[in-house]
């Protein structure tokens, strides 16, 4: 029987793991694992298996407190909070949750696109006030329009398939051509070619030095007049001033954002599920001060695209699977080797 210590654990997660990992000793701690923090239950450090989340700092100093540790599984895709060099040195296996929320983000992308193209928000607001007039509420069909996808990774590929299913022409910009999408009719081209051809531009790139402000004040004027811009990826992909310039000059007609440039840096969306994130970052003040919130042609959601029942369940299911596979002698989703 293995002793398994869980850190940063909520009640609903506790009930799940009790039900799905039986015949082993499970120890739960609500707080993150940190070098200088004291924990009431000293048995935590007798664990052979450690399950953590994004805010636990599993450095050498922390790992040395676990003399029996053989396996660390983080309930996140990122693993830069774990000292992989020390783990390799001590033969400690490390696993992660490589992907979650792929379909949730893709569907949220189209929720924003459809809300903007069909004037859903102003329609609802007007009827709630008892006004059923149609003046100013004329939208446009997506069928036959061109969807430009910037980044065709896991999420961008799903967005492409949804667009094709709606009868849109789909074009894409990506570092590498995706042969599977190419066979389905997606046309790959440069960003400079894509922008003026797209009725809707949707961003699905990771954020790094190369992608910082990939949409900026210089290329916003290249957009097709009246087009829609959507960003459900990372706030830093978009230069905020470029959005305002685009709207003010008519280069774009509407914008859907689930992320903002002002958001604090984060490794991944799963961190937003933690109470600790809310304690560290006051997004409300930043958002209230932002001029974009007051623009009627802008829809902003609170970085919620990933947050579905299925995505959260996938995180827990993958973690339970990681633990079981380790116990069976065949660990999965290994990282840092």
Tokens read off for 160: 């492409």
What is the mean pLDDT of the segment spanning 64-87? 91
Position 270 scores a pLDDT of 52
Could you tell me whether strands 187-188 and 169-173 are parallel, antiparallel, or unpaired per DSSP bridges? parallel
For residue 1, the number of C-alpha atoms closer than 13 Å in the C-beta half-sphere is 6
CB atoms within 10 A of CB 18: 11
Q: Which of 75, 81, 108, 303 is catalytic?
A: 303
Which run of H or E residues covers position 160? helix 154-165
φ/ψ (deg, to 5) at 246: -60, -40
pLDDT tens digit sequence for 146-197: 999 999 999 999 999 999 999 999 999 999 999 999 999 999 999 999 999 9
Q: The domain at 3-100+310-327 falls in which architecture?
A: 3-Layer(aba) Sandwich (3.40)
> Rounded to whole angstroms, how far apart are CA atoms 98 and 156?
16
* Rounded percentage of the chain residues whose pLDDT exceeds 90: 67
> Rounded to whole angstroms, how far apart are CA atoms 9 and 305?
22
What is the mean pLDDT of the segment spanning 207-222? 93
pLDDT tens digit sequence for 125-145: 999 999 999 998 898 999 999
CATH of 102-307, one of 3.40.50.720, 3.30.200.20, 3.40.50.300, 1.10.510.10: 3.40.50.720
The mean predicted confidence, pLDDT, of the chain is 89
Q: How many helices (H) and strands (E) does the chain have?
A: 12, 12
CATH 3.40.50.720 domain residues, the chain = 3-100+310-327, 102-307
> Rounded to whole angstroms, how far apart are CA atoms 171 and 160?
8
Contact 333, 322 (CB under 8 A): yes
Give strand pairing partners of 188.
172
pLDDT tens digit sequence for 262-291: 654 444 555 555 555 555 544 544 544 467
Choice among 10-14, 268-272, 301-305, 333-337 with the minimum mean pLDDT: 268-272
What is the mean pLDDT of the segment spanning 31-56? 88
> Rounded to whole angstroms, how far apart are CA atoms 132 and 134?
7
Higher pLDDT, 76 or 94: 94
User: If we measure between CA atoms, which residue out of 28, 83, 35, 33 comes closest to residue 55?
Assistant: 33
Q: Which of 107, 193, 263, 268 is catalytic?
A: 263
To the query of whether residue 126 is one of the catalytic residues in this protein, the response is no
> Rounded to whole angstroms, how far apart are CA atoms 192 and 179?
21
User: If we measure between CA atoms, which residue out of 57, 33, 53, 55 comes closest to residue 45?
Assistant: 33
> Rounded to whole angstroms, how far apart are CA atoms 182 and 220?
27
To the query of whether residue 108 is one of the catalytic residues in this protein, the response is no
> Rounded to whole angstroms, how far apart are CA atoms 330 and 93?
11
Tokens read off for 29: 């701690």
**DSSP line for 64-113:** TT-TT--EEEESSS--TTB-HHHHHHHT-EEE------HHHHHHHHHHHH
319 Cα distance to chain centroid? 18
Contact 24, 46 (CB under 8 A): no
Position 272 scores a pLDDT of 52
Angle ∠(253,256,260) on CA atoms, nearest 5: 120
Tell me if residue 25 falls in helix, strand or coil: strand
To the query of whether residue 212 is one of the catalytic residues in this protein, the response is no
The model's confidence at residue 65, banded by pLDDT at 50, 70 and 90, is: very high
Contact 51, 324 (CB under 8 A): no
* Rounded percentage of the chain residues whose pLDDT exceeds 70: 91
Position 283 scores a pLDDT of 52
Residues for the chain: how many in total? 337
What is the mean pLDDT of the segment spanning 84-107? 93
> Rounded to whole angstroms, how far apart are CA atoms 110 and 162?
8
Contact 97, 318 (CB under 8 A): yes
Contact 228, 113 (CB under 8 A): yes
Q: Which of 29, 75, 234, 271 is catalytic?
A: 234
The model's confidence at residue 260, banded by pLDDT at 50, 70 and 90, is: confident
Position 269 scores a pLDDT of 52
Position 90 scores a pLDDT of 94
pLDDT tens digit sequence for 220-254: 999 999 999 999 988 889 988 899 899 999 999 99
């Amino acid at each position: 029987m293995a002793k398994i210590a869980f850190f940063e654990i909520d009640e609903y997660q506790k009930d799940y793991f009790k039900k799905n990992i039986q015949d082993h000793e499970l120890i739960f701690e609500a707080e993150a694992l940190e070098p200088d923090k004291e924990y009431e239950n000293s048995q935590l450090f007798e664990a052979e298996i450690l399950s953590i989340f994004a805010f636990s700092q599993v450095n050498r100093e922390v790992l040395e407190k676990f003399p029996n540790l053989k396996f660390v599984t983080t309930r996140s895709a990122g693993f830069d909070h774990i000292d992989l060099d020390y783990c390799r040195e001590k033969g400690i296996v490390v696993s992660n949750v490589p992907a979650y929320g792929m379909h949730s983000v893709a569907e949220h992308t189209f929720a924003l696109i459809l809300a903007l193209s069909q004037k859903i928000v102003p329609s609802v607001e007007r009827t709630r006030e008892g006004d059923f007039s149609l003046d100013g509420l004329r939208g446009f069909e997506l069928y036959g329009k061109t969807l430009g996808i910037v980044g065709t990774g896991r999420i961008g590929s799903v967005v492409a398939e949804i667009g094709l299913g709606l009868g849109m022409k789909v074009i894409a910009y990506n570092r590498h051509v995706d042969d599977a999408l190419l066979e389905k009719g997606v046309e790959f081209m440069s960003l400079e070619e894509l922008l003026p051809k797209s009725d809707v531009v949707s961003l699905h790139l990771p954020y790094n030095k190369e992608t910082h402000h990939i949409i900026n004040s210089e290329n916003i004027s290249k957009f097709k007049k009246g087009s829609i811009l959507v960003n459900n990826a990372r706030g830093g992909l978009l230069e905020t001033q470029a959005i305002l310039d685009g709207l003010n000059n008519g280069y774009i007609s509407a914008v859907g954002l689930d992320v903002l440039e002002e958001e604090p840096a984060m490794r991944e969306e799963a961190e937003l599920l933690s109470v600790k994130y809310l304690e560290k970052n006051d997004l409300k003040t930043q958002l209230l001060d932002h001029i974009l919130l007051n623009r009627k042609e802008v829809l902003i959601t609170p970085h919620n695209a990933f947050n579905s029942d299925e995505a959260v369940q996938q995180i827990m299911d993958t973690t339970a699977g990681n633990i079981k596979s380790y116990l069976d002698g065949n660990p999965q989703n290994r990282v840092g080797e």
